[in-house]
Amino acid sequence: MKTRKIPLRKSVVSNEVIDKRDLLRIVKNKEGQVFIDPTGKANGRGA
């Protein structure tokens, strides 16, 4: 049986590669609003 690939992302704070599910996504949309994106799918620039 194949093992599933774990999505990894680099933290902008610590510069470490971490499991995507353990990170928090913060988004700035076109109107300039900054908010937390719990789903990871909101439109806008995410960090």
d(CA 35, CA 19): 21
Model confidence pLDDT, tens digit, residues 12-40: 999 999 999 999 999 998 999 999 998 88
pLDDT at 34: 93
Cβ atoms of 8 and 20 within 8 Å: the answer is yes
CA distances from 10 to 15, 19, 30 (A): 6, 9, 24
pLDDT at 19: 94
Tell whether pTM > 0.75.
no
Instruction: For residue 12, give the nearest of 1, 2, 22, 23 by alpha carbon.
Output: 23
pLDDT at 44: 84
pLDDT at 16: 96
Residue 14 CB contacts under 8 Å (≥ 6 apart), including other chains: none
